[in-house]
Amino acid sequence: MEFFGPVLDGFNVVLDPTNLLYCLLGVVVGMLIGVLPGLGPAATIAILLPMTYGVEPVTAIIMLAGIFYGAQYGGTITSVLLRLPGEASSVVTVFDGYVMAKQGRAGAALGIAAIGSFFGATISIIGLTFLAPLVASFALDFGPPEYTALAMLGILLVATISGGTKIKAIIAAAVGLFLATIGRDGFTGAERFTFGNLSLADGIDFVPIAMGLFGLGEILYNLEERHRAANAPVKVSKVWPQRKDIKEASGAIGRGSVLGFFLGILPGGGATIASLASYAMEKKTAKDPSRFGKGAIEGVAGPESANNAAATSSFIPLLTLGIPANATMAIIFGALLIQGITPGPQLINDNPQLFWGVVNSMYIGNILLLIMSIPLIGVFVKILRVRAAILAPITALITMLGAYTIRNSMFDVLLVVLFGAIGYLMKKFGFEPGPLVLAFVLGSLLESNLRRSLLVLEGDPTGFFTRPISATLLVLFIFVAVWPVIKSGIEKRKAGSLASTIASEKEKENA
């Protein structure tokens, strides 16, 4: 009972009408941006950051989380109906989902995807409920050296797993770390890189960076990236899958959920990789692999369950270790910092209302999404007709006016526009904005822990290897750093996996 007390209290938090409303708002927005090609969840959450200023922390995070997992549901719809993945994590759904739609089974594909998503997410929330406290209690003993190693590993994993070249991603991360040093140094009080400018003394604010790089950068990029005109969507009928479909897909849903849960926990992992891995696994375990690509329902059910499970479980490293596992989590991390809450192992005990409120809101959010994706699917299919030309200025105005409302400052708006241009140029030159934002968010944590560790270890960097946890993490870090070099040697002889190439292409488009 001692364990379940706070968990149950969390439901009281969720059932508060304001929180319910924001949960609904979050999942509807998430589903919408999932359906509409162009903006991804990271960009949307960045653009909507100003909305979180006026509300309670728990309410804000409930909404942002809803956008993130809601987008996983919405992305499926365009994959199945239009063969255009709304999100990178729905790329593999195209393979069998669109063929099913061509065969007149669009309803079954969407229905099973919704059910699979719901199961994947629910299993993952339950897993989170039990695993998160364990991870947090384990991490309570972490000292500065462990945090240093963990933050370094987290940044490196996100940089190396994202699409595009690894070296450029590491450069982006280094730039993020550098930007984080601007302002007053916490240890010596020295002003760093402020050039005497008073408004830089407190450092660069996270919000204009995120809104610019992710939000406006992507909007500008989409202006020239003409989205192919949507063909008239296939008629969707009979969204409830038949018993036979459910029977065929149930194994895939189960396997996908478990796989997704574990892949989501890993830093740099997350929904995209989980969906790819699940598709590969289904193909491998199927009795007749040749059915895949020709409308196999497992090829929709598995990846869709996996990406939702992963989206949910990627909250574990954020809420228990304070290390965001991907770019979207980095923005949610930033949103928590704005609210004066530092995510980490203490969060679960210091702020159980927030922790369990957010976790339990996911049950409600997923029920709402299931309702929206089965009986209300027609409404969302209609939204596909809204033209990108009309949406683009709306999103741009939301960003501009939203940026102003944070501090009533035109300077902030200008910063957002400038970072938007930088984000656009980064994309054109092949630099991912994701690692930059993640590294920026973790920058001061990494530096202060590194300097504290060096004080403790009396300036001897080999001291990191005398502590078992930091040693393990650093060995992993070195392995991840060296691995691409080894792998590229192997890959030169062997062509890379097809699906992962496509997904990384898509990831580049709407990271």
Partner 1 sequence: MDAKHARHDSTEKSLTSELTPEPQEPEALTPEELAAQWEAEAAEPAGPIANLLSSLVVLGLSIAGMALSVGLGLGTPAAPAAGMWPFVISLIAAVMAVAQIIVGRAGGRDGEKFSALSWYAVIGFATLILMVVLMPIIGFEIPSLLLCFVWMRWLGGERWRSATIYSILIVAAFYAIFIAALGTTIPRLF
473, 242 Cβ separation under 8 angstroms: no
* CA proximity to 352, closest of 13, 6, 5, 61: 6
The footprint of partner 1 on residues 200-239 (CB under 8 A) is 216, 219-221, 223-226, 228-229
Shortest distance, position 85 Cβ to partner 1, whole Å: 10
Contact region with partner 1 (CB under 8 A), list: 72-80, 123-131, 400-408, 466-474:
400-408
Q: CB of 127: closest distance to partner 1 in angstroms?
A: 30
Which CB atom, from 175 or from 200, has the smaller least distance to partner 1? 175
374 CB-near residues (< 8 Å, 6+ apart): 111, 114, 239, 240
Tokens, residue 497: 């996996």
Contact 276, 303 (CB under 8 A): yes
Residues 8-37 that bind partner 1 (CB under 8 A): none
Which of 12, 237, 285, 501 binds partner 1 (CB under 8 A)? It is: 501
Interacting positions 74-113 with partner 1 (CB under 8 A): 83, 94-95, 98-99, 102
Q: Which one among 55, 131, 400, 481 touches partner 1, defined by CB under 8 A?
A: 400
> Does the protein bind partner 1 through residue 277 (CB under 8 A)?
no
Of these, 22, 68, 355, 424, which contacts partner 1 (CB under 8 A)?
A: 424
Closer by beta carbon to partner 1, 107 or else 295? 295
Give 168: exposed, middle or buried? Use CB within 10 Å, 0-12, 13-18, 19+: middle
Query: Where in 356-395 is the site for partner 1 (CB under 8 A)?
Result: 385, 387-390, 392-394
Is residue 471 involved in binding partner 1 (CB under 8 A)?
Answer: no
Q: How far is the CB of 433 from partner 1 (least distance, A)?
A: 13
**Quick check: 288 and 103 in contact, CB under 8 A?**
no
| Shortest Cβ 420–partner 1 spacing (Å) | 7
Q: Please, what is the minimum distance in Å from the beta carbon of residue 486 to partner 1?
A: 15
Smallest distance, partner 1 to C-beta of residue 491, A: 13
Site for partner 1 in 450-469 (CB under 8 A): 450-451, 454-455, 458-461
Binds partner 1 by CB under 8 A, chosen from 362, 427, 434, 507: 427
* Closer of 386 and 469 to partner 1 (Cβ): 386
Alpha carbon 81 to its chain centroid, in Å, reads: 24
Site for partner 1 in 404-423 (CB under 8 A): 404-405, 408, 410, 413-414, 417, 420-421
At its nearest, how many Å lie between partner 1 and the CB of residue 148? 11
| Least Å from the CB of residue 406 to partner 1 | 10
User: How big is the chain, counted in residues?
Assistant: 511
Q: Which residues within the stretch 140-179 sit at the binding site for partner 1 (CB under 8 A)?
A: 164-165, 167-168, 170-171, 174-175, 177-178
| Residue placing its CB nearer to partner 1 in the complex, 119 or 424 | 424
For residue 480, what are the CA distances in angstroms to 259, 267, 475, 493? Answer: 21, 12, 9, 21
Structure tokens at 217: 């950068």
Nearer to partner 1, 214 or 315 (CB): 214
| Extended strands (E) in 28-90 | none
Q: Which of residues 207 and 219 has its CB atom nearest to partner 1 in the complex?
A: 219
Smaller CB separation from partner 1, 121 or 173: 173
Q: Which helix or strand (DSSP H or E) is residue 498 part of?
A: helix 498-509
According to the binding rule CB under 8 A, does residue 429 interact with partner 1?
yes
For residue 315, the one-letter residue type is: F
Q: How many CA atoms within 13 Å lie on the side-chain side of 278? A: 43
Any idea what the Cα angle at residue 171 is, between residues 169 and 175, rounded to 5°?
Answer: 115
Minimum distance from CB of 429 to partner 1 (Å)?
4
Amino acid in position 320:
T
Indicate the residue among 289 and 375 with the shorter CB distance to partner 1: 289
Neighbours of 325 (CB within 10 A): 28
Give the number of residues in contact with partner 1, rule: CB under 8 A: 77
CA-to-CA distance for 328 and 325, rounded, in angstroms? 8
Q: Which of 161, 310, 347, 499 binds partner 1 (CB under 8 A)?
A: 499
Distance CA 354, CA 328 (A): 19
Interface pattern 281-320 for partner 1 (x via CB under 8 A): ------------x---------------------------
- Binders of partner 1 in range 172-191 (CB under 8 A): 174-175, 177-178, 181, 185, 187-188, 190
* Cβ-contact 329, 314 below 8 angstroms: yes
Question: Using alpha carbons only, what angle is made at residue 437 by residues 390 and 54, rounded to the nearest 5 degrees?
Answer: 65
Q: Two tokens at 354?
A: 């927030």
C-beta of residue 324 within 8 angstroms of C-beta of residue 332: yes
196 Rama class: left (phi>0) / alpha (psi -120 to 50) / beta: left
